[in-house]
Amino acid sequence: MKDLILQALISGILIGGVYSLIGIGLTIIFGVMRVINFAHGEILMVGMYLTYTLFTHWGIDPYVSILITIPILFIFGGLLQILFINRVLNAHSQNQILLTIGLGLVITNTMMMIFTSDYKILTTTYSSSSMKLMNLSISTPMSISFLITGVIILGLYFFLKKTDTGQAIYATAQDREAAKLMGVNVKMISIITFGLGSALAGTAGALVSPTYYIFPQVGGAFTLKAFVITVLGGMGSVLGAGLGGLIVGIAESVGAVAFSAGWKDVVVYVIFLAILLFKPSGLLGKSKE
């Protein structure tokens, strides 16, 4: 039993790293634009289908395809912001929610028309392979995904901390009007931010493609997971989203072993509700009081 729990813990950390990427993408968008993007999972799903297409038609490895997925999803997210999101930035939150839900439905149905609703499986030579570490079996694709996620998050950290654009994103997140008065082009920063959040979601989609079924409705499950991660860590906190992703991944994996696979989501939501009960702002979120 001890080995099973340890195995589950390692698996949870590996998948939690990818979950962190999903949560960070959502929290960056919320932090800068104060828009709750209910189409986040659908954007991730687009990344999954893009990866699947690149692999099946051109033989590009899913992890190599990230180099193509990131810029394409960045542009896709930027266009969504310019054409749709920008029009409701100053509207009531209900309008923003309804718009992003509508965008999610349009994206889902568009992918359904293109690819049908059949489940797709992206099978590579390493999809089911694993590495042995003492008595433990560690998934090769999830290990690769975790390493790539670590590199991307590290790169994102340096981008936000060390570049003028990153500092402008932080400034806009803290006070949009003050940033505008200081000469920051907040409209361009909003486009970059939504594009960046979409690129992170699409990258996460590419990373999970070798281990998940791909179908048009898969985005809904990831949207819900992204919100749990983001609220768990604290809305607007990048570090909190990273921590929230790891917690969700570990809770799912350990819960499936300790109880059953059907209870893994229940364990996640129990932890989620407990943290909201005792710390409503999330683990690393700032209280308004």
Contact 134, 69 (CB under 8 A): no
Indicate if the pLDDT at residue 114 is higher than 90: yes
- Residues 201-227 have a mean pLDDT of 93
State the pTM of this model. 0.93
- Residues 56-71 have a mean pLDDT of 95
Indicate if the pLDDT at residue 230 is higher than 80: yes
Confidence at residue 289, expressed as pLDDT on a 0 to 100 scale? 45
Q: With CA atoms as reference, report the closest residue to 124 among 50, 218, 209.
A: 209
Residue 287 pLDDT class (50, 70, 90 cuts): low
Structure-model confidence comparison of residues 32 and 107, the more confident one? 107
φ/ψ of residue 61, rounded to 5: -55, 140
Structure-model confidence comparison of residues 191 and 235, the more confident one? 191
Quick one: what percent of the chain has pLDDT higher than 90? Answer: 62
- Residues 243-259 have a mean pLDDT of 90
Diameter of the chain measured on Cα atoms: 60
Contact 140, 130 (CB under 8 A): yes
Q: With CA atoms as reference, report the closest residue to 239 among 181, 283, 177, 179.
A: 283
Contact 178, 171 (CB under 8 A): yes
- The tens digit of pLDDT for each residue in 8-40 reads 899 999 999 999 999 999 999 998 888 889 999
Domains of the chain: 2-123+136-278 (1.10.3470)
* CA–centroid distance for 73 within its chain: 13
Quick one: what percent of the chain has pLDDT higher than 70? Answer: 98
Q: Which residues pair with 214 in a beta bridge?
A: 120
